[in-house]
Structure 1
Amino acid sequence: MIRNYFKIAWRNLSGNKTYSLVNIGGLSLGITVAILIGLWIYDELTYNKCHQNYHRIARVLQQQTLDGEVNTGANVPAPLFTELQTNFGGDFERVVITSWLQRHTLAYAGTSFTRPGNFMSPGAAEMLSLKMVRGSASGLKDPATILLSESTAKAIFKDSDPVDKMMKINKDLNVKVTGVYQDIPYNSEFHELAFIAPFDLFMASTNWVKEAVANSEWQSSSFQILTQLSEKADLKTLSDRIRNIKAKKAGNSELKFKPQILLHPMSRWHLHSEWVNGNNTGGRIGFVWLFGTIGVFVLLLACINFMNLSTARAGQRAREVGVRKAIGSLRQQLIGQFLSESFLVVLFALLFALVLTRLALPAFNEIADKQMVIPWKDPIFFASVTLFTLLTGLIAGSYPAFYLSSFEPIKALKGKLGRSGHIPRKVLVVVQFTVSVVLMIGTIVVYKQILYAKNRPIGYARQGLLTMLVNTADIHLHFDAALDDLVKTGSVTSLAESQAPPTEVFSANVGFDWKGKDPALNSEFATIGVSHTFGKTVGWEFLAGRDFTRTLSTDSSGIVVNEAAIKFMGLARHDLNDAIGEVVTWDGRRFRIIGVIKDMIMESPYDPVKKSIFFIHPKAGRFITARLNPETNASFALKSIEAVFKKYSPDSPFNFQFADQEYALKFAAEERVGTLASIFTVLAIIISCLGLFGMASFIVQQRTKEIGIRKVMGASPASLWQLLTVDFVILVAVSCTLATPIAWYMMDRWLEKYAFHTEVSWLIFAGAASVMLAITILTVSYKTIRAALQNPVTSLRME
């Protein structure tokens, strides 16, 4: 009997090609979107799960009250590492102190590479469950060693075995390769980790680190600490126990900041990374819910198409139902028949969807910044797909099956079915287009917010600005000579050194005092050490005062501050010039304000600019920033800069970033959301329009004789087009009306998380409604115009 059901279903599908293509095409698109979003959500939910100790790894966080607000960060003091090991050793299986992920120069046999890596204490490889392909992870116990990722080892040593070979880090650190580990999967916090070197080596080669550890500097929070809890330890209980360690150990000077230590489990690092005033408020989990909802709704739109087209064809299937019931078919059998037809459509749609997914996945990965694959060999995947197919078939086919099987035999055979199916169909069309309009408005608002942030003044001239990371002191020692050589080539107009690139803030400090400061105020300022030429190179916009100059030795104790800092300190009583000459004390050392600049956006363009202080640093050589000559070809300029850098630092690779490209990366997350949302919106509209086209086809077919009679009576093609189109336009107009408050509420909530955000204008809603109405008219017009122009003789001809 089931075989017979599918036979009849196949005949119905093959005999109604337009209906079948619309249904299968719409469902294929809906299922493709659902699979892609499902893979994306799975990737997000399994982030960091490649580490075997995933459920027992936690990052140590520190909370401090600054400017009346609780700030939470992963930067912690070095003595905390010893404290956790010594007094809480039974609660932690491993405690690892680590530097921040930074790019370093790795050199071997005259060749050098720049790769991101960390300096970590022993136990890091075991904590992260690195899979060793050569050597051993235990080598990190020796300070002069290094572990390499498989791809890094391949790049440096080609096909030879790197174990026990000597190489250099940053030109002056000699290390022996003791192990090679498999590249960490892309959906891991540590996927960029190209090498791990011992923390003891970092401490021995870096004076400030050595002093921070040797002097037990609880005030300096410049490190990260990772922990692996013992099997019996409870994270919340342990987090409460270690909460006041710093407050007890650091002394009275730190009590005003109300420091607290807590543990943040790895299971929450990726999806729950945001903290607001000491509360873990969320993070990417919002995107998971967003795209999950979009996936459900897009698939629902495809199912609605099936329902609408099936019920619209009720008149054509009515006599079939009447005959079947008249000869004894039970309602359950009819339901089975129509559900089998639904499952057959979904099965075909699924096959097409898998092909579409395979073709679309590379582009989707690039847009979403993922490395996802379809898990063909995973039984869970196929079980999920099977369940998903059954559920989709049931949702898509349930209403048509119960609706068609409910016809009374006599009425069905006479074709007297009434208009009971019209209202549900209209409701479903309204739901379809309401979802589509909400998606369209949401996408427009996302892009409007991105443009709003991009158009925000950034306080410096980023075009033609080049930043180079240097891991040796070579350029710093020959800075003037290198600048002279570059100016002679005509490729560079200015060169500067700094502790951070123009697009980042690496350091923030407390301990500032100034005239009129509230003694109860605990303030943190971004502090950037620079050379005298930094302002000229990046293009500071001065609001008062002047730039640094080498001709004045007093500038070594001078500072340039941004507008946000002056406003916070309240030193501009009448205008900004009042702040010039004012003294700011930093940890007991006096600095005098010599200049005030426009706020320079160095971090997120969506957040307020940090209060920033720029000062002259004698060794601010970590980053070199160059202003390219606008009259020189960029390609020539880069070659000239590389040649000069190689002259003074022959063993270092030449790595550079353009400031405008680095700044553009700050919009990557929002642009990714906008791009994906726009793709899903277009697909949702296409699916809705497919259903609209199918319904228009059936309505025109049902009203063929009516159209013929109206033409004979003198109706014009324009009036017939209006007659056939107006119902659809009304439905879409209702959808736009319903979508407006829903979209406004959702986007208003979304924009709240940005300190600087655009407004949700009524023009957005009007524009979206106009576009949707135009799409509707174009979709329906093809069939309606064709019907209106048809010869009335053909329309009135009997079958």
Structure 2
Amino acid sequence: MIKSYLTIAWRNLVKNKGYAIINIGGLATGMAIAILIGLYIFDELSWNKNFKNYARIARVLVNNENSSGWYQQWGTATPLAAEIRAAYGGDFDQVLLSSQGMTAVLSTGDTKISQDGYYFEPGVADMLSFEMVRGSRDGLRNPESIMLSESAAKSLFGSDDALNKSVRIDGQTELMVTGVYKDIPANADFNDMRFVLPWQLAVQKNFNNNNGNQWDHNGFITWVQITGKTDMATVTHRIKDVMLKRVDAEFAQHKPQLYLHPMSRWRLYSEFESPQHAGGRIRFIWLYGSIGCFVLLLACINFMNLATARSEKRAKEVGIRKSVGSARKQLISQFFSESLLVTLLAFCFSLVLSQIAIPLFNSVAEKQMHIPWDNAMFWLSGLTFVVFTGLCAGSYPALYLSSFQPAKVLKGGSGSSRSGALPRKVLVVLQFSVSITLIIGVIVVFRQIEFGKSRSLGYNQDGLIYTWTPTREIHDHYDVLRHELLGSGVVTSMAESVNTPTNVGFHIGGYDWTGTGIGDGGFGTAWVSPDFGKTMGWDFIAGRDFSYEFASDSNAIILNESAVKFMHLENPVGQTIKSTIFDKTTTYTVIGVIRDMLQESPFEPVGKTIYMFDKGMWSKNGGTLVNLRINPGMNTREALIEIERAWKKYDPSSPFQYTFVDADYARKFSEEERIAKLAFVFAAMAIGISCLGILGLASYMAEQRTREIGIRKVLGATVTNLWALLSKDFVVLVLVSCAIAIPVAWYFMNGWLQNYSYRTDLSWYIFVAAAIGSLIITLLTVSYQAIKAAMANPVRSLRSE
């Protein structure tokens, strides 16, 4: 019986090749998109699950309050880890202190590579379940040791065994390799960690600025692994007031409370809306998941529409089958068999399409996904997917066609009533409503990106680069290097800074400008050398820039507009501000006010920022930046060669690595641009699938109205008249779709824009453009079949009738 069903199904597909191609092509495209989105969602949901202790690892955050509300502190004080271990050790398997992620130059012999890594307390290898290639997980207990990832070890030593070999860090410290671990997978945090240094080495090098007992310096990270006998919420409640009991009275006014942010939520819930509620990338999971479901739904609608539209071709078959005794359930089985066959063929083609598209999809999504051909769960999921889609896509045709009355169809009727076309129209409206909604969404996302790019930066990016200095050699020879580069005409200005022009980095509290001794937190703080403002192209509202000529500038600061507004200072230049940083209270004098310089998110207000004179406190171990503005009159490539030559003269041990500021700033739009690109592709696919359905229906309609078209032509109807006749039904359906899609799109996109403080508006012409575009696409799709039918010879069509 099943063989008979499949044989008949195959013959119907071969007999109607055009409709088979449209059906299978539409379903295959929808399935391919669903597969790619499914792989994307699986990759996101499996983030960090390679760590064996995944469910019990957390990062310690600090929630604070000030006059502006609550704010979150991602860094912690150095003594926090020891305090937690001492007071609540029974709740934790591990409590570890680490540095922020950093970049260092690793060298051995003539080989030098720049890699990312951390200073970490012993125990990190167990916490993160390192898979050791060589050595043991206890390697960091020696303060003169280093652990390398497998790729870093290969880059340094090739095929040689790296264990017990010597590696120099930033051309200064000689360390011994005590362990080599497998690279952490791409879909995990720490995936860029190519080396780990012992925390004790940081203490010896005074990396932590002797802050072992300071509770007000929050530049480090505390990681924990709770025991299996408790849970995150319980432990968070127990430790939440640890800092409050230790900080001074001024800091205690901010009511610091500890919060354990579980590893399971790092990826998808990293943007906190309140101390208890977080969002983030989870919205992309819902977004792409919804798009995948909708696109697959559009493909299924095509199948249902085309199957029911051709019901008259199958009417006599149904009538004869029922007359010779076929039960309705047998007919339903027949049509479900055809649906499952089409779906199976579409699934096979969708796998081919997915394999072809996945490199491009990975490029856009910045993933390293692949189709798991050898995974039994994938094939089981695929089979379930085929059956579910086949049953959904074939449900309406099976139930509809099997309901025809044999007496009526054998007498020449179609077996369907005039209302039979209504479900098809509803489905077409649903198709285009989804497609138009996606089109509007894509337009809004692109407009938001352009809106962010059009914001005034407050500085000039042209020819501006920055380069990181891993050692202190450049700082020690800074004046002579600056004199040499300026004298050669390669650069027009040059300055040091602690952070890049596109990132303030440090947000520090404890500033007192009221004279009451009560400070308020959250100021972005940037340490810069004189000429930084000239190099950036600062626009001064009042006062002046830093200068080497004024000795008093060592305790001078420059404020941006947002800081002045926050402080409510009417005449800021000349006023004094006290600050307690690194347990030392200093009085600063405001010497200038600049227009806001956009250094962080282009979609958020410019933060209140204080610029301080860099006295070299950050340069003793290297790790600062040099900003250079290339002479616009020089060839950029030649200028970079000349800068590198001078650079190597004073720091031959470090590679010269530079970043163009405009490219660095452009990366701030990467997430939105990724959404826009993927949404554009999905919207284009959705429109394409909808157009395939429209093309099939238009072809069928023209075929069914052959005699009517012939008669109208004989009576004098023009090609234009007939084109309008055959197109108007689809135009009406698209207009109805627009009426549904526009308010839906407005609701969802307006909600999406609320995520941004600086956002574009939902202009009326966006919706008009989407509606007109949909109409044009529909008319172009329908026109081929309509004009072809209108230009046919009426004599031939009437003779055949």
TM-score, normalised to structure 1, is 0.98
Match of 1:359 among 352, 356, 360: 356
Change (3 A) 1:736 1:516: farther
593-602 or 41-50, larger mean C-alpha shift = 593-602
Match of 1:266 among 239, 263, 266: 263
Pair 1:583-2:583 in alignment: no
Give the distance between the partners of 1:137 and 1:492, measured in 2 at CA.
48
Give the distance between the partners of 1:514 and 1:225, measured in 2 at CA.
32
Give the distance between the partners of 2:683 and 2:272, measured in 1 at CA.
31
Give the distance between the partners of 1:66 and 1:159, measured in 2 at CA.
55
Q: Which amino acid aligns with 2:236?
A: S
Deviations 1:723-763 (A, max 9, x none): 00000000001001100110000001001111111101111
What residue number does 1:324 align with?
Answer: 321
What residue number does 2:202 align with?
Answer: 202
Change (3 A) 1:771 1:380: same
What residue number does 2:174 align with?
Answer: 174
Deviations 1:597-637 (A, max 9, x none): 11111111111111111111111540111111111111111
Match of 1:655 among 647, 654, 657: 657
161-170 or 585-594, larger mean C-alpha shift = 585-594
Q: Which amino acid aligns with 1:38?
A: G
Q: Which amino acid aligns with 2:66?
A: L
Aligned CA-pair RMSD: 1.2
Q: Note if contact 1:137-1:147 (Cα within 8 Å) is conserved in structure 2.
A: no
What residue number does 2:507 align with?
Answer: 508
Q: Note if contact 2:250-2:518 (Cα within 8 Å) is conserved in structure 1.
A: no
Question: What runs of 5+ residues in structure 1 fail to find an aligned partner?
Answer: 573-577
Pair 1:335-2:332 in alignment: yes
1:521 is displaced (CA, Å) by 6.4
Match of 2:547 among 536, 546, 549: 549
1:350 is displaced (CA, Å) by 0.6
Q: Note if contact 1:81-1:97 (Cα within 8 Å) is conserved in structure 2.
A: yes
What residue number does 1:498 align with?
Answer: 497
Q: Note if contact 2:236-2:258 (Cα within 8 Å) is conserved in structure 1.
A: yes
1:520 is displaced (CA, Å) by 6.6
Q: Note if contact 1:111-1:651 (Cα within 8 Å) is conserved in structure 2.
A: no
What residue number does 1:742 align with?
Answer: 744
Q: Note if contact 1:273-1:280 (Cα within 8 Å) is conserved in structure 2.
A: no
What residue number does 1:12 align with?
Answer: 12
Q: Note if contact 1:491-1:641 (Cα within 8 Å) is conserved in structure 2.
A: yes
Give the distance between the partners of 2:746 and 2:501, measured in 1 at CA.
37
Give the distance between the partners of 1:285 and 1:786, measured in 2 at CA.
49
Give the distance between the partners of 1:412 and 1:637, measured in 2 at CA.
84
1:281 is displaced (CA, Å) by 2.5
What residue number does 1:219 align with?
Answer: 216
Counterparts of residues 413-562 of structure 1 (less than 5 Å)? 413=410, 414-416=412-414, 417-515=416-514, 522-562=520-560
1:15 is displaced (CA, Å) by 0.2
1:277 is displaced (CA, Å) by 3.4
1:181 is displaced (CA, Å) by 0.8
Q: Note if contact 2:512-2:520 (Cα within 8 Å) is conserved in structure 1.
A: no
Q: Which amino acid aligns with 1:531?
A: S
Q: Aligned to 1:248, what secondary structure does the other structure show? A: coil
1:515 is displaced (CA, Å) by 4.0
Deviations 1:358-415 (A, max 9, x none): 0100010010010001111111111100000000000100100000000010112222
637-646 or 365-374, larger mean C-alpha shift = 637-646
Deviations 1:39-70 (A, max 9, x none): 00000000000111101111111111133321
Counterparts of residues 240-389 of structure 1 (less than 5 Å)? 240-389=237-386
Q: Note if contact 2:319-2:406 (Cα within 8 Å) is conserved in structure 1.
A: yes
Give the distance between the partners of 2:658 and 2:671, measured in 1 at CA.
23
Q: Aligned to 1:212, what secondary structure does the other structure show? A: coil
Q: Which amino acid aligns with 1:566?
A: V
Give the distance between the partners of 1:794 and 1:776, measured in 2 at CA.
29
Deviations 1:219-260 (A, max 9, x none): 111111111111112221111000000001223232101000
TM-score, normalised to structure 2, is 0.97
Give the distance between the partners of 2:74 and 2:592, measured in 1 at CA.
33
Deviations 1:316-348 (A, max 9, x none): 110110010001001001001111111111111
Q: Aligned to 1:196, what secondary structure does the other structure show? A: strand
1:304 is displaced (CA, Å) by 0.1
32-41 or 508-517, larger mean C-alpha shift = 508-517
What residue number does 2:714 align with?
Answer: 712
Deviations 1:78-103 (A, max 9, x none): 11100111122221111111111111
Q: Which amino acid aligns with 2:317?
A: E
Give the distance between the partners of 1:434 and 1:73, measured in 2 at CA.
44
Give the distance between the partners of 2:451 and 2:408, measured in 1 at CA.
61
758-767 or 106-115, larger mean C-alpha shift = 106-115
Change (3 A) 1:437 1:236: same
What residue number does 2:408 align with?
Answer: 411
Q: Which amino acid aligns with 1:27?
A: L
What residue number does 2:107 align with?
Answer: 107
1:74 is displaced (CA, Å) by 2.3
Q: Which amino acid aligns with 1:449?
A: Q
Q: Note if contact 1:71-1:276 (Cα within 8 Å) is conserved in structure 2.
A: no
Q: Note if contact 1:69-1:277 (Cα within 8 Å) is conserved in structure 2.
A: no
Q: Which amino acid aligns with 1:392?
A: T
Give the distance between the partners of 2:335 and 2:274, measured in 1 at CA.
57
Q: Which amino acid aligns with 1:460?
A: Y
Q: Which amino acid aligns with 1:498?
A: S
What residue number does 2:389 align with?
Answer: 392
Q: Note if contact 2:509-2:519 (Cα within 8 Å) is conserved in structure 1.
A: no
What residue number does 2:141 align with?
Answer: 141
Give the distance between the partners of 2:514 and 2:328, measured in 1 at CA.
88
Give the distance between the partners of 1:12 and 1:762, measured in 2 at CA.
47
What residue number does 2:610 align with?
Answer: 613
Counterparts of residues 35-50 of structure 1 (less than 5 Å)? 35-50=35-50
Match of 1:630 among 626, 629, 632: 632
What residue number does 1:3 align with?
Answer: 3
Q: Which amino acid aligns with 2:686?
A: A
What residue number does 1:239 align with?
Answer: 236
1:477 is displaced (CA, Å) by 0.8
359-368 or 64-73, larger mean C-alpha shift = 64-73
Q: How many residues align?
A: 790
Q: Which amino acid aligns with 2:655?
A: P
506-515 or 733-742, larger mean C-alpha shift = 506-515
Q: Note if contact 1:256-1:522 (Cα within 8 Å) is conserved in structure 2.
A: no
1:488 is displaced (CA, Å) by 3.4
1:714 is displaced (CA, Å) by 1.0
What residue number does 1:575 align with?
Answer: none
1:516 is displaced (CA, Å) by 7.6
What residue number does 1:126 align with?
Answer: 126
1:210 is displaced (CA, Å) by 4.8
Give the distance between the partners of 2:209 and 2:354, measured in 1 at CA.
53
Change (3 A) 1:279 1:606: farther
1:591 is displaced (CA, Å) by 1.3
Give the distance between the partners of 2:288 and 2:481, measured in 1 at CA.
51
Match of 1:777 among 776, 779, 789: 779
Q: Aligned to 1:90, what secondary structure does the other structure show? A: helix
Deviations 1:164-217 (A, max 9, x none): 01111122222110111111100001101011111111121125x15111xx11
Q: Note if contact 1:540-1:597 (Cα within 8 Å) is conserved in structure 2.
A: yes
Question: What runs of 5+ residues in structure 2 fail to find an aligned partner?
Answer: none
Q: Which amino acid aligns with 1:553?
A: A
Q: Aligned to 2:385, what secondary structure does the other structure show? A: helix
Give the distance between the partners of 1:490 and 1:231, measured in 2 at CA.
64
What residue number does 2:88 align with?
Answer: 88
What residue number does 1:682 align with?
Answer: 684
